[in-house]
Structure 1
Amino acid sequence: MRLRPLRLAAHVELVSLLVMLANLATAHLKPVSSLMGPTHGCAYLFVVIATWRLTSATTTAKTVAVIPGIGGLLALRRLHPADTIDQHT
């Protein structure tokens, strides 16, 4: 299975969380919260479901995928090295 969508969702999950936390610590603009909240939630769910659907994912990879923010990146690191290479076919 190609992991590019999982990799993209993991990065979106992390960046959206960082934007939400920065917004909370600074101006706390409601439009930013309204946009980043659902974005982070969708990316988080995508990461968890995509990781759990991988047959090559270990129990550890599936477990760390549920950690909000960094779980997707941690799960990608736990996957077998041969599975993390995207094939351009």
Structure 2
Amino acid sequence: EAIKCMRHSRRTTLTADDVDAALNLKNVEPIYGFASGGPLRFKRAVGHKDLFYIDDKDVDLKDVIEASLPKAPLDTALTCHWLAIEGVQPAIPENAPVDG
């Protein structure tokens, strides 16, 4: 079924979304926690015919610790107003005038 979903989307690469769509068609709960923006490149393990792995980039922990932090976001703010009171829209700056 996942292959059918892939072909219906006119793609040649099977994605995790195709598998989730196929599971949904079969009324099975989807797989949670994994999504991929593109195809994963698997490598064959040396000395093993049927063993594959994804070659992840090694990251030095020292570089991660010493990296500068991103700028803190601006303070968050929340404002609210009544859009309409008893069916009447008040003429205040927050409400755009209604042309009618």
Fold shared, TM-score > 0.5 on shorter chain:
no
Highest CA radius of gyration, 1 or 2?
Answer: 2
The structure that is strand-richer by fraction is 2
More helix by share: 1
TM-score of the two chains, using structure 2 as the length reference: 0.20
Q: TM-score, normalised by structure 1?
A: 0.22
